[in-house]
Amino acid sequence: MGLIHTVPEAAKKGQFITVSDFAGDEIHRLAGQQVGDLVYVDDERGGLERLAIGSTGQLLNISSGGIPAWTNTITAAMTHSAGFTMTDNVSISFGTDNDIKITHRDLLAADQEVTGLIEGTSNHQGYAADSLVISNITNDGDIMMLVSDGGNSKEVMLANADVADLQLGHGMATVNIKTASGAITLTPGTDTLIENTTGLIVGHTVGITGVDVSEFQVLGTAFADASAILGRWAGASASATALQFIKSRETTIGSFTIVADNDSVGRIIFLPDDGVDYGTVASEYLSEVDDGSREAGFVGMAHVWKSMPGGNGNGIAEVMPISAAGALSVGSGPAVISDSSGNLSSATGSSLRAAVATSSSHPVVSLCRISCIRSPQHLLQYALVFSINYHLLPMYHFDQDHPQGPFSR
């Protein structure tokens, strides 16, 4: 390539060299240099080389052979010890296809499609001016955030693109969502779901054990925060709200297997604190199947009330069942049925029947209200009927003005 110009003595390492130092050489490699050009030593050629000035914003990249070149791409790790400023509307791109970008936009309007940042028909809300936008435009490309806990990476967030699913806290022990003021509003497209075997506790940090640890609990120290309301505002509709109990013999939720006779379908239980725990069922109402021939759309049901009579060793017992046919039984001992005045009464044409013994040799006594005579005397007649071995004895009656008699036949 011709003669190589000798570097002047003044041009030692770290010292400034002017163009005039090479003015007498027309054949050296620096001929025609411009202000801003880079001069460097080429070890292979044993002399100086010139690198023309690059474009604004370009970086200087040094190859493995020590040859500098201008580039728009960072090809190796670098450390910047001072602040780094990126102007508006300039992206930091990742990947060979530049398909992952972080961009600061000075203006991004609602649903604005920005080339290289948003692709296709996007679905996003409007952004305020000076917003930070992080975009992965790789088809079905995810975005994940991780933190290190004791040297182990743990997932904070995963935006799973191919199924359009956002997961929070997969690697976290707990997730707390808080606001400085105001409510937290959930606006899902459909239902809000809580997985089976996990629950919702309102008013406390853990669930309380009653008969078991129920997955839905409302706990509190005042009436308002320990209560629940079901309400319906339906205009002219006569329908009310409902608390629905479902019981199935199926093992798969949502599938069907008909219930069996005597299956409990719904229970309301009462658990007073007994000084030890909350597991004592002291009172209970339940509705159970009372039907030996169940079929689709028709299942007979009985109502059962249970309670503890009180006293040590006296467990809960059934005290008042109503069968599917409407038969009422009260208690296991003598039953007392009265109105608010303590009187025994029945509707006209009906009877109150008491079996004093199971043996047919003992009488069955029925008190029957047979008529209500609207006379000046307002006689209310009752019939007292004795039956022994299914044979009726003569009927006696008395009026309400003379309840002690005299009786007449």
Q: DSSP assignment of 220-240, as one string?
A: -SSTGGG--------TT----
Residue 75 lies in a domain: yes
Give residue 386's pLDDT.
Answer: 44
Question: Can you give the pTM of this predicted structure?
Answer: 0.61
Residue 400 CA to residue 73 CA, distance in Å, equals 110
Q: How many domains does the chain have?
A: 5
Give residue 363's pLDDT.
Answer: 46
Q: In sequence order, which residues have a C-beta less than 8 Å from that of residue 11 and are 6 or more positions away?
A: 17, 21
Residue 176 lies in a domain: no
Q: In sequence order, which residues have a C-beta less than 8 Å from that of residue 270 and are 6 or more positions away?
A: 281, 282, 283, 284
Q: In sequence order, which residues have a C-beta less than 8 Å from that of residue 70 and are 6 or more positions away?
A: 51, 54, 55, 58, 59, 60, 61
- Longest Cα pair distance anywhere in the chain, in angstroms? 157
- Note down pLDDT in tens along the chain; length 409 residues: 334 445 555 444 555 555 555 555 444 455 556 666 777 766 666 566 777 777 777 777 777 777 788 887 776 777 777 777 777 777 777 777 777 777 666 655 666 667 777 888 888 877 776 777 788 888 888 999 999 999 999 999 999 999 999 999 999 999 999 999 999 998 899 999 998 889 999 999 999 999 999 999 999 999 999 999 999 999 999 999 999 999 999 999 999 999 999 999 999 999 999 999 999 999 999 999 999 999 999 999 999 999 998 877 789 999 999 999 988 888 765 555 555 555 555 444 455 554 444 444 444 444 444 444 344 444 444 444 444 444 444 444 444 555 444 444 4
Cα 149 from chain centre: 27
Domain that holds residue 315: 244-334
> Is residue 106 domain-shared with residue 136, that is, in the same domain?
yes
Residue 1 lies in a domain: yes
Residue 5 lies in a domain: yes
**DSSP-based three-state secondary structure for 22:** helix
Burial 73-103 (b: 16+ CB within 10 A, else e): eeeeeeeeeeeeeeeeeebeeeeeeebbbeb
> Is residue 74 domain-shared with residue 1, that is, in the same domain?
yes
Which of 58, 84, 110 is a domain's end point?
A: 84
- Residue reference for tokens 């050629």: 45
CB count, 10 Å around CB of 265?
15
Tokens of 386: 């004795």
> Is residue 349 domain-shared with residue 393, that is, in the same domain?
yes
Distances in whole angstroms, Cα of residue 81 to Cα of each of 77, 78, 84: 13, 10, 9
Residue 407 lies in a domain: yes
Tokens of 244: 């629905």
CB count, 10 Å around CB of 38?
15
Give residue 59's pLDDT.
Answer: 78
> Is residue 404 domain-shared with residue 362, that is, in the same domain?
yes
Residue 186 lies in a domain: no
Residue 177 lies in a domain: no
Residue 185 lies in a domain: no
Burial 206-218 (b: 16+ CB within 10 A, else e): ebeeeeeeeeebe
Which of 84, 102, 124 is a domain's end point?
A: 84
* Residue 214 and residue 197 in contact, taking contact as beta carbons nearer than 8 Å: no
CB count, 10 Å around CB of 117?
20
> Is residue 254 domain-shared with residue 297, that is, in the same domain?
yes
Give residue 73's pLDDT.
Answer: 73
Give residue 95's pLDDT.
Answer: 72
Which of 84, 105, 125 is a domain's end point?
A: 84
> Is residue 228 domain-shared with residue 164, that is, in the same domain?
no
Give residue 370's pLDDT.
Answer: 42
